[in-house]
Structure 1
Amino acid sequence: MKKIAVIIPYFGRLKDDFPFFLQSVKNNPSIDVLFFTDNNFPCDCPNVKVYLMTFEEIVSQFQRNFDFKIRLSKPYKLCDFRPSYGEVFKQYLKGYDFWGYGDVDVIWGDLRKFLTDEILSKYNRIFGQGHLSFYRNLPDINAIYRYVVQPSYKQVFTFDYGCAFDEYYGTSRYWDINMNDLFYQVSHYDDVDCMNLAFRSHRRQGDNLLFSYENGKLFRIYLKQDNLVKEETMYVHFQKRKMEVNTNPADMFIMAPNAFLPYIDLMNEANYKLFQPNKTFYAQSYKLRYQDFCNKFHKLKACFNHCEFGIPTHPKDVLHYYK
């Protein structure tokens, strides 16, 4: 079995639903999660390794890997540095066949069911999104981010604001164009649209989704032609949603808009309909739109500042990809 480590630097207050993520990690005992954090959180997961450090210390660790002055003033900017984790954290990755990065606003299902030995033997890069991606742990693979041209890693690492360099705006596009046969991109997961109150996945296979966590397995449940459908999924990403906690993390629970709830059988149509939103107004979507507007304004301001390697610009074809 290929050994896998997921690297997660996290600085600042952890959300109330973080224990549910840990529960789903615990039920994937063959995958290690390496936390670099200033949070000394309680954890009984044998496959979770916590390295306590300050944000300033991890910035210094990144800086030691580059011969130019990087800009890493806020923890969120770490997302742009994710493709470099294989080099920056190489001393922690000895013995691992694959390393990855991911978010904590997710619930993992049975990852190994989808990360089969066949896939891990054939591909060098698995998935292209920031919420969970994997690279084969080899020096030449770990350095590929350095060959991306538009934008270049030097432009991104010296720019104050996020450029989504870990996704198709940067390294994933490079893989897609130059190493497509070694890049696995099949969506076995659900990336829930943060602009809708109801759960709507990027997969477009079923709206008004609910999710059921059952003894290490994760299921997506939806209504199709008046029939309830239950399918196993790899993981769900809640993407900026504020999830209420109305139960304890355990081996069984359900996820409905927008809460973790005690487990019940959602294949009962009455139970399924019980958790569907009865309103369309979603205040969080307006808050997110406002934040997005502010981020774009600050990025525009930053473009007028001197950038040693130039301003990072995204290729035009990325818009077509995301459509």
Structure 2
Amino acid sequence: MDLLALADFNLVARFGGFGKAARATGRPKATLSRRVAELEADLNLRLFERGARTLKLTEEGRALHTRTSALLTEIDETTKAIASMGHNPRGTLRISAPLLFSQTALGRLAAGFVAQYPDVQLEITTEDRPVDMVEEAYDLVIRVNPQPDESLVGRVFLRDRQVVVASPDIQWPTGNGAVPAINRVSAGRNDIWNVNTVNGQVKLSTQPVLSLSSFLMVRDAVRAGAGIACLPLSLAIPDLLAGTLVHWGDVDGQETALWALYPSRRLLSARVSAFLDYLKATFPNGTPEELAHYIDQKDDLGIMR
């Protein structure tokens, strides 16, 4: 059996069509079609039912895809691992990461990684949506509190928590009064915040005055005195230390964990292993204070980041 033809068959099966597979992989559609036809001829089996606008696996095609896709993945990972062996991992490493971590830390972290591993071509895209690692060809994804996924494994490399902060000019509300609040759009509207303070948990009545799409925008607005806000502790620490923001308490139940995830394969490429080790070396304790210090460090030119 021609392994190249089998690999092309699995590409078409995975993406659900010749055109989709060609666009996703950059392979010519005609080549994929020819290879699949050759495989069908070699096996004397029809692997796809071809309609005018649809393409469906036959029962035999589904069985072949199920039994060979994992094997081909294993072969691919084996060859990549062998090619990347040694002290200098090489090749392309594609990573998807969330917006806030990308904006505050990942640019500098990526620069340090490629300086240490110059044979690795690092590609990072920023998005908060869940991505399909296999179909979108990512080697590693970084996510905040990800949903369980049996196809992925990973490790926590940073932990954080949400804190309620305000400008020193804003006073704690008295009685049943509400305090102006800045919300993130994705968090939705919640007028009652459960806040853990030094005196115990309290219910804080708020009046939303702003809805913003990023934590950096929220931080700038709360600095300007527009209202109270929930921020990751790592993002708030510099202002809390400087006295430009005041800590009102912690948001109840809002602890977060930043995970590095990768497909659950027996063989892990040297590129991914090197990046995981680099994350661990950069954040050995994985605390909010450690991340805040990293974000606020001066670079070699003495410019505050």
- TM-score normalised to structure 1 length: 0.23
Which has the higher Rg, Structure 1 or Structure 2?
2
Instruction: Return the TM-score normalized by structure 2.
Output: 0.24
User: Of the two structures, which has the highest relative contact order with CA contacts closer than 8 Å and spacing of 6 or more?
Assistant: 2
- Where is the strand percentage greater, Structure 1 or Structure 2? 2
